A and B are shown apart, each in its own frame.
Chain A
Amino acid sequence: MYDAIIFLYQILFSISLFILISTGLAVIFGMMKVINLAQGEFIMLGAYFALLGEVIGLPFILSVVLAMVGVGLFGVLVERLLIRFLYGRLTDTLLATWGLSLLMIGAVTTFLGPQVAGVSVETGRIAVGEVYSISVYNLYIILVAFAALASCWALWRYTTFGMIARAVMANPGMTSALGVDCHRYYMLTFGIGSAISGLAGAMLAPIVGTQPTMGGLYVAQAFVSVITGGELPFLGTLLAGGLFGTTNGVLSYAYSQVIGEIGVFLIAIVLLRFLPHGMTSQKGRS
């Protein structure tokens, strides 16, 4: 009985990590089609903002807000100074964001050092039976991950901002002829995607610590989730997160974390071989 609870909890936690890591990219790559190779470093920056919050004595929840605002504004800056010149230029975007990723790793290493630093949050544990216990913080992560994905989806689906943003992404030419300043929506959307990555970084910091190179771990997982998810970025991220999180959770539980990650990439390869446009592709449907 308790084994089963722990097993389910681990899978849910694993799914949540995928969703948390991928939602920012679901906005930036899924919605905007910008291949941002620095997305992992946006997560890293979020973790460092959480560290900054701890250093200046903020309660953790405010550190998380600080990370969202900080990385969101950083994203707006990146969009204004770099990305906006590169819309529709795939290779240039790849090179520029890869450069940005290296620059961010280099800058953080230079100014803050290469070592791992921890962020501590006291939340306690819940006992499950007599042998097991679950960290309350991990439950918060599950909550935040699903809340972030659901909020993004609701923002896009049900608000005027989301409606205009969808129109801008689908047909900027026509949308601007209806009076919409598309540049503003590109900037804000990129900022939102960045803020979600900042949130992810801040939430991850207490589990994995902060390190300049930590983004590399996440950018691959995020791209695998969003690409496998397909055309509907938020539903796709939920489905892909569910699939990969379960795979990773089961294999990690049964064997080891390395096997879990290998399993994820194998499944992604097979899936994309048969569903090249992803799990939520609408191509070929009437």
Chain B
Amino acid sequence: MYISDAMQLEVDGLTSGYGGITVLEGLTLAVAEGELVGILGHNGMGKTTLMRSLIGAVPARAGRLSFMGTDITNLPPHRRNQLGIGYVPQGREIIKGLSVKENLLLGQAAHRGASEYDRTLALFPELVELLERPGSRLSGGQQQLLALARCLMGRPRLLLLDEPTEGIQPSIVSDIAQKLRHLRSELGLTIIVVEQNLDFLCSIADRSIVLRGGRIVADLRGAAVPDRDEIEQHLLINA
């Protein structure tokens, strides 16, 4: 695999897991600035654990993580977020008891600089009418948009998205795909997205990684990526 100093995110020999269970075993991955990487794999293959390890919710047991040249291996999640890693978890995790507006403001509360509020709402006009509602009362699709908007409030350079289309109606899925393409082309964000929805992934990713048993077993770039058949083949082989 090609690794250079120009890489925004470098994962070197990452081993992590929960309690007595090791999920990721010596995973190595490098992502360049502006890439949109899809992560595929069957359940239990370590996709979510990888995302949680990148934001720091699961500590690394071995290996090294660096982000924009900074060693983040031992940094807690809030420090990683302040460095520019944004995280939209599986299940969205909209904060209960906070309104939509408060959930948004929370995304920037620990960050310095001018407010991103107006710019974020301009990007997510769907949220404007919902601002005073309790965040936890929104539909799944609305919550997903809110979680994405909340994450962008912190001006991330790298966006980690865990199953953004899970349980969401098709119209909002295509809406999310369009927003991700926009974020990438307009803001130059690097995006790593875990996804089960192959159509969705093929429509946005320019690189796809297949995880199996806590390791990367396929890394498809460029022309290979939109080829749904080849990805399916990899998933089948790994089943």
Contacts and interface: CB of A to CB of B under 8 A. Distances in A.
A139 interface: no
B111 A174 contact: no
Interface in A154-177: 160, 163-164, 166-167, 170-171, 173-177
A160 B108 CA distance: 11
Interface string B102-119: 100111011100000000
A166 B111 CA distance: 18
Interface string B58-99: 000000000000000000111001100001010001011110
A179 B82 contact: yes
Interface residues of B, number: 25
Interface residues of A, number: 17
A187 B105 CA distance: 22
A160 B87 CA distance: 22
A104 interface: no
Given A170-B96, A171-B93, A178 B55 contact: no
Of B78, B93, B98, B151, the most chain A CB neighbours within 10 A belong to: B78
Contacts of B78: 176-182
A167 B77 contact: no
Contacts of B105: 160, 163
Contacts of A171: 93, 95-96
Nearest to B57: A173
A182 B78 CA distance: 8
B150 interface: yes
A164 B106 contact: yes
B154 interface: yes
A174 B151 CA distance: 11
Contacts of A180: 78, 106, 109-110
B96 A176 contact: no
B106 A163 contact: yes
A181 B75 CA distance: 12
Given A170-B96, A182-B78, A177 B109 contact: no
A177 B162 CA distance: 13
Contacts of B106: 163-164, 167, 175, 178, 180
29 contacts: A160-B105, A163-B106, A163-B109, A164-B110, A166-B97, A167-B98, A167-B102, A170-B98, A171-B93, A171-B95, A173-B77, A173-B93, A175-B106, A176-B76, A176-B78, A176-B81, A177-B77, A177-B78, A177-B81, A177-B87, A178-B78, A178-B150, A178-B151, A179-B154, A180-B78, A181-B76, A181-B78, A181-B110, A182-B78
Interface of A: 160, 163-164, 166-167, 170-171, 173-182
